[in-house]
Amino acid sequence: EALARGAEALRPGVTGAEVDRLVRGHLQAAGYGQYFPHHSGHAIGLGHPERPYLIPGETLPLAENMVVTLEPGLYRPGFGGMRLEQNFLITASGAEPLSTFPLTLIACP
């Protein structure tokens, strides 16, 4: 759900801080804020990672034709962690996911 909240906000003119606020806010409201110690995502280009970062305080806005990843993850000390990651192309009207891989939990016996 946190990834979906961030994805809904991806569009030209939105800052990385705004996207992070939605992702981070959802995790905090669900009681998982203490397990989210890092960024919500970043742009993808020739370097890794690239701006705009999806972090508090990022002022660089998203622009059409940028590619970004949303990657919220939860980490519990002494237990482990998990992260979902999905890449998006920023379009004039929003964002388009670059894969159709399902993000549902698959339990293996």
| Structure letter (DSSP) for residue 15 | B
Residue 62 CA, distance from chain mean position: 13
What pLDDT, in 10s, does the model give residues 43-59?
A: 999 888 899 999 999 99
Q: Which domains occur in the chain, in start order?
A: 2-97 (3.90.230.10)
What pLDDT, in 10s, does the model give residues 16-37?
A: 999 999 999 999 999 999 999 9
DSSP structure string for 59-90: -PBP-TT-EEEE--EEEETTTEEEE--EEEEE
Residue 109 has pLDDT above 80, yes or no: no
Distance (Å, whole) CA 34 – CA 43: 25
pTM of the predicted protein model: 0.89
Distance (Å, whole) CA 3 – CA 44: 17
Reference 4, options 82, 84, 76; nearest CA is 84
What pLDDT, in 10s, does the model give residues 61-93?
A: 999 999 999 999 999 999 999 888 999 999 999
Burial category of 72 from C-beta neighbours within 10 Å (exposed 0-12, middle 13-18, buried 19 and up): buried
Instruction: Give the chain's largest Cα–Cα span.
Output: 45
Distance (Å, whole) CA 109 – CA 97: 30
